[in-house]
Chains A and B, each alone.
Chain A
Amino acid sequence: MVFILLVNSARAQPTGIEGRVYDAKGSALPFTSVFIKKAEKVALTDTLGRYRIMGMTPGQYKVGISRIGYKLQERSIELLAGQVLVLDFVMEEKVTELGAVEITAKTVSQELRETGYAVDVVEIKERKNLTSDINQVLKSTPSIHIRESGGLGSGFRLSLNGLSGNQVRYFIDGVPMENYGSALTLNNYPVNLIENIEIYKGVVPVSLGADALGGAINITTGYRRKPFLDVAYSFGSFNTHQASINGQHVNEKKGHFVKLSSFFNHSDNNYRMEDVPVFDLELGNRLGTIDTRRFHNEYTSGMIHLEAGVLDKKYADHWSFGLTTARNRKNYQHPDNTINRAFGQFHTKNETLLASTTYKKRLGNLDLKGYVVAGRVVESVVDSSSRKYNWAGDYIVRQANDPKGELFERKSLMELTDRVIRSNVGLDYEISNNHALGLHFTQNYLERNGEDQVNEFNRSFESPNSIHKNLLGLAYTFKTGDGKLEATAFSKQYWFYGEIITQDFQDNEVTTQPRFNSTGYGAALTWRIAAERFQLKSSFEQAFRIPESYEILGDGIYIQPNPSLRPETSYNANFGMRYTKHFQKIHLVSEANYFYRFSKDFILFNPLGPFGTYQNLDNVRTTGIESSLQVNYNDFVLFNANFTWQNLTDQSEFDEGLPNTNYESRIPNVPYLFGNARLGINPWTGPTGDRLAIYWNTRYVHEFFFTWENLGDAEGKSTIPQQLIHDLQMEYAFAKGKYNVSLSVNNITNAMAYDNFNIQKPGRAAYIKCRYFLN
């Protein structure tokens, strides 16, 4: 169908202009307005900076291009009948300073923010000189809350508008990061390697192709056409080192490029813990509490990503091949849920190897995109030590006949090997200036093998298990000619197939083959009132999350397979407003969003005797509001603040047939009120673009209960106390941004901070970062 349309349009050969728009660095400039004055025709460039205006009559015209933050340009042309004139533009940036990217330029992010989806875009440009990873940046965005169990590399749980864990999916440049191993998670990526973070709250566009229930986070690494080199090194508290090298060589004439992205992280994470309990090693009696440093908490990770490809060929606008290798090692001081036990040798390791290819081609009005990723991910959990530690750092050696490990009941060295193959094909067709269609297919296959080299009784994944998820999405977008109204309707079809081999009670192999399919749908609508100033947007989706392998397959021992497990379902709706205003030198952006989620069939673990299965048990309703305000005064002061309030309530009236005592009560152990503020000043700008900037960040999380609020004596209840954390950052850039130095002090007041019950986070920490950027 789509191809027929394509052929027809190619045959028509209309008169018009087409071309590309770049910035001074050679990067494509998407969402740039290209207008023809006399003909009153307007087009926006696509993500590759391309535009096309057809259906013109021959004659003389003035073609203009405009983009906020760039200088306006006009060019005179003469167009002949049947001619398609190729016109490329290079736009010059207006000189802007601190915070300018966020405010004055209508960037990709702004364009995305103005679509009907509830989407937030964090631009990294401003933060590239600072010591932070993606999680730290995400933390400061509205409605996102990240709970960490410690320092660099520690376990974390991100929640987005009240949904968390597997309900939120992650992507890099549109490629899902699911199951790529622990060295490639958000808390490893230094900010230098990325350009933007797109946060889709609730409704996820079909182009991302994932079974996300509560939203998606897409990290974009940027697309530049010019060579560059970005080298950064940061050093700080707890013996923390973070280095990254990011560079690209481009041969524009021959149309090929080579790109390198890499990072190395290490931290001892030996921050101070207060009041940790010390237990006697032989008998387990409580001796008292002490203040001590963590002594087995080191984290090291690294990644190298190499990509080579061609640009602007007949057969492809962009075709590249990539190779990624990543590793990490993480020492655990204690289990993620309690500090009662201390470890001295327990650790995990990860090795990931991925090969990928990405293809993009525009054929007339048709955009064709695709990728294939294949790889091997090995995760090892090493619990083979005979030592038993306590928080005092003392240990005893277990007797030879004692099989106990530090965490597990028997010493164990479990190695899980996943083979993954994932691919996506996307077609976007622009029927006219008002109508567009998108069709995206995503396939995701995982095969898991496991071997415990120490515990002969652990037979999990001895026979390979596999799961295959497929998703087909179709979207239709309508835009009014004046661009004031834009509507998208879409449908997603999910297919799941698995083959699971486990041992039953009699040690026989049992093969189960769960399969199901579901259809989801949704829509997004945006309406701009009063030109650019005021915008309303709303979206709705019925989405599914397909169960994870361990939920449906079990672990071969204590978690029994449940082939009848259904996907989690979520109905989510978003309604938002965005207001922009200039008063002389003051620029103001204000946003408010309301969100509603009704999640059915939450997958929970249900114990049955010594075993248990994952079952569809709970219904949860979330309503909430988030609001943000940004003010910029003459590029001298930048202030932004946001807060989120969310109310998650248990909507299960009955629990296994009995009335649910907590029906309509607030879900415990989930933060419900939190906010951030950031103040930046630019006290000095030198004549050659040298500049000094100072930022102050504050993060607040209101106290919340660990278990149900209405139950138990008020005074003895466990709570996660209120957090108020301040960070200070200073950066100095000179030689036109080639050299950059920054100093960051996190948790300046050395406040005791907790995200999880009783698990303390790092206190005050300082980092220095040097960055060299060559364009």
Chain B
Amino acid sequence: MKRKYQIHHKLTIYLFALGLGGCLLSACGDDDPDEPGTTTSTASSGFVMSLKTTGGDETEFIISQDDIMSGEISAVGTGIEQTGWRFFYPVGETLFSSGFSVDNQMAGYGDDGAGRITLKGEFIFENALEMFGKSDDEQTLLAMEIPRSGFANRRLHFVDVNTVFVRKIIGTRIFESTTDSLVAWPTALQVRDDKLFIPFHVLDAGGFFTTPQPDTAYIAIYSYPEMGTEPEKIIKDARTGNIGVNGFTTGLIEADNGDLYSFSCGAEMAGFNPTSTKPSGILRIPHGETDFDPSYFFNVEAATSGGKLIWFDYVGGNKAIARILVDDSGGIWSAFGRDVFNQQLVIIDLVDQTITEVANVPLHAKRYSSPVLVEDGKVYVSIETATEAHVYQVDIDNATAVQGARILGKTIKGFYRLQ
């Protein structure tokens, strides 16, 4: 074990209380990979990616590579090792990596100014942070702990993007009913102006992830950044089901003009039990308003002859990239596995309410994805079929794709730029 900078703990706490902790923490870096301020040998240029490898415990790595459209992408001899299953969430040029299965640690990675990725800071949390968002100025990461059973606060962490310090934690129930034994499971943390929108699933409190009220869309609306412990209001819409899908952070997205769009899935394959009787589709909250637009509902299920949205993300120009479950026959949670390959990549025009299948992309399976990286009208995705995993570059306007590098691993959870 390498020596670390040591300080007497009482002293540290006093100094920290006096506001001097930051200097201690930023000055004490050395060659220990666990220590904040440590630069790694992984380049911060090019595409930075979170790669999940195959075999054993499927170790995850943060890797970087300039060319991802040819050759192979692998972690052999390169990349920053991560512990256990991770959520990856980028805010500006900082990439957050949050422990889920093994450790309860959040790390923030960025460019060290000399072309290398550095560990900017870390903190620990209690229950896994399972939902993420960011402030409009990209100076604050929002990360929420969601207890899995019983009635308990969902704890929203406000994290400084530059220091990776938690500035405050607000506990809120979002919604609960002790009489009906119901709790809320958030599916996005979307800030717009002075409001924070949190769409949620209504789950049974027993921790079984059952969805007893799947036939209504719910969004809790809070003031922001001075957030209260109770929502200002909860809006509902019965035209479609619960918003979002467990694990994805983009149940609600903001268009260039400030309109918010939500998607509802309701499929058994995505964990709905019972499933929603309402069609899968998209709702809108117009800019400046805090209610669903009664004149807007894009019935995706009707438009795709029975398909259900399982994921979408905003790619600019009022368009979203999305995945459609072409059928819902795989069984409970099966969209999170690798037995059913029935997800279709599409481009949705949110305003025109049209769906175009992205050409040249096979039907695939997808478990998890960070918010997408969009550059010059192109968006990058990792597509996994039964026997192969590849990067695809999708041309948003033309809804066409080009197959890129072969991925030596299970998936790339996300593509990022750190400089």
| Interface of A toward B, CB cutoff 8 Å | 274-275, 277-280, 282-292, 337-338, 340-341, 391-392, 394, 401-404, 409-410, 455-459, 503-507, 557-558, 607-611, 618, 650, 652, 655-663, 665, 667-668, 707-708, 710-718, 721, 752, 754, 758, 760
Contact = CB atoms under 8 A, between A and B. Distances in A.
Given A618-B56, A712-B75, A752-B1, A403 B147 contact: yes
A287 B56 contact: no
Contacts of B1: 274-275, 721, 752, 754, 758, 760
Contacts of B77: 710-714
9 contacts: A284-B125, A285-B166, A286-B123, A290-B9, A401-B153, A505-B209, A611-B209, A618-B56, A650-B55
Contact of B208 (A507, A657, A715, A716): A507
A608 B57 contact: no
B247 A392 contact: no
A280 B25 contact: no
Closest 8 A/B residue pairs (Cβ) = A662-B55, A655-B54, A392-B9, A283-B166, A609-B333, A290-B9, A457-B149, A609-B336
A771 B21 CA distance: 54
A279 B12 CA distance: 11
Interface in B143-173: 147-153, 157, 165-169, 171
Contacts of B102: 337-338
A283 B168 contact: yes
B213 interface: no
B59 A652 contact: no
Contacts of A288: 5-7, 9, 12, 24-25, 28
B410 A658 contact: yes
Contact of B386 (A507, A657, A665, A667): A657
A409 B130 CA distance: 14
B221 interface: no
B16 interface: yes
Contacts of A611: 209, 333
A458 B148 CA distance: 11
Interface string B325-366: 000000011101110000000000000000000000000000
Contacts of A282: 169
A652 B53 CA distance: 14
Interface residues of B, number: 90
Contacts of A718: 33, 81
A404 B58 CA distance: 29
B169 A658 contact: no
Interface stretch (B35-43, B187-195, B300-308, B314-322): B35-43
A557 B210 CA distance: 12
B42 A713 contact: yes
Contacts, number: 237
A279 B13 CA distance: 10
Given A275-B4, A505-B332, A608-B337, A392 B13 contact: yes
Interface in B8-53: 8-10, 12-13, 16, 21, 24-25, 28, 33-34, 36, 40-42, 53
Given A290-B12, A394-B13, A611-B333, 7 more contacts: A284-B126, A289-B5, A656-B338, A658-B388, A658-B389, A661-B53, A716-B80
Contacts of A278: 9, 12-13
Contacts of A618: 56
Interface of B: 1, 3-10, 12-13, 16, 21, 24-25, 28, 33-34, 36, 40-42, 53-59, 61, 74-81, 85, 101-105, 121-127, 147-153, 157, 165-169, 171, 204-210, 246-247, 271, 273, 332-334, 336-338, 384, 386-389, 408-410
Nearest to A393: B9
Contacts of B21: 285, 287
Contacts of B81: 707, 711-713, 716-718
Contacts of A656: 54, 338, 410
A607 B408 CA distance: 21
Contacts of A341: 104, 124
Given A557-B149, A662-B55, A287 B41 contact: no
Nearest to B58: A655
A713 B54 contact: no
B246 to A, nearest CB: 6
A397 B208 CA distance: 29
A337 B99 CA distance: 13
Contacts of A277: 34
B167 to A, nearest CB: 8
Nearest to A610: B209
A506 B126 CA distance: 28
A290 B11 CA distance: 11
A171 B118 CA distance: 51
B13 A457 contact: no
B410 A409 contact: no
Nearest to A506: B210
B57 A707 contact: yes
A711 B76 contact: yes
B229 to A, nearest CB: 11
Contacts of B57: 707
Nearest to A390: B9
Contacts of A340: 103-105, 124
A321 B152 CA distance: 52
B395 to A, nearest CB: 26
Given A610-B246, A713-B78, A457 B206 contact: yes
Contacts of A391: 9
B132 to A, nearest CB: 16
Contact of A711 (B7, B79, B125): B79
B210 A661 contact: no
Nearest to A753: B1
A610 B332 CA distance: 12
A661 B34 CA distance: 26
B55 A652 contact: yes
Contact of B74 (A455, A660, A661): A661
User: Which of A392, A663, A708, A713 lies at the interface centre, i.e. has the most chain B CB atoms within 10 A of its CB?
Assistant: A713
Contact of B150 (A403, A658, A662, A668): A403
B247 A609 contact: yes
B123 A402 contact: no
A663 B9 contact: no
A283 B156 CA distance: 11
Nearest to B389: A658
Contacts of A661: 53-55, 74-76, 408-409
A305 to B, nearest CB: 39
Given A410-B147, A506-B210, A609-B247, A291 B125 contact: no
B147 A650 contact: no
B180 to A, nearest CB: 13
A754 B1 CA distance: 9
B76 A655 contact: no
Contacts of B5: 288-289
Contacts of A284: 123-126, 157, 166
B101 A607 contact: yes
B9 A292 contact: yes
Nearest to A403: B152
Contact of A712 (B4, B55, B80, B206): B80
A542 B211 CA distance: 46
B53 A409 contact: no
A284 B159 CA distance: 11
A576 B346 CA distance: 63
B209 A291 contact: no
Contacts of A283: 123, 157, 165-169
Contacts of B78: 712-713
A708 B149 contact: no
Nearest to A275: B4
Given A280-B16, A713-B80, A657 B124 contact: no
Nearest to A274: B1
A109 to B, nearest CB: 38
Contact of B121 (A286, A505, A712): A286
Contact of A609 (B74, B169, B205, B246): B246
B387 A657 contact: yes
